[in-house]
Amino acid sequence: MSYIEAKSGHWIGYYMQYRDRHVFSINLQFEADSVEGSGDDEIGTFSIKGKFDPITGKIDFVKRYHGAHGVNYSGFVSRDGFSMKGKYDVSGFGDDFHMSVNTWW
């Protein structure tokens, strides 16, 4: 059986909102079947915590802005473990997201 080894480290990405691309930077730590991290975007700083299935690549996490709201993310990590994409949802509104390992750092 093949496992996806998602890469811990610095990731960069974007989420779509009202047809605009909003960039974020995040440090992710993958452990067995979980993922945690912290980062920032134009709204502020945030932390994430969630689940990762290394067999299917399915990932689900909540991005919680410090002192504010949370955003649910759901998607799939690529087979090589260097990118992910999916959908986010906040209070019934959502769109696409994409992120990949930042190989420039």
From first to last of its 105 residues, what are the pLDDT tens digits of the chain?
688 999 999 999 999 999 999 999 999 999 989 999 999 999 999 999 999 999 999 999 999 999 888 999 999 999 999 999 999 999 899 999 999 999 765
Q: Which amino acid is it at 41?
A: D
| Alpha carbon 37 to chain centroid, angstroms | 9
pLDDT for 12? 96
- Cβ atoms 27, 39 nearer than 8 A: yes
Q: How far apart are CA 100 and CA 78, in angstroms?
A: 9
pTM of the model: 0.92
pLDDT for 67? 85
pLDDT for 80? 95
Residues, the chain, total? Answer: 105
Nearest C-alpha neighbor of 13 from the set 105, 96, 93 = 96
pLDDT for 73? 98
Angle at 18 between CA 15 and CA 24, to 5 degrees: 25
Question: Which overall architecture, per CATH, does domain 9-101 show?
Answer: Beta Barrel (2.40)
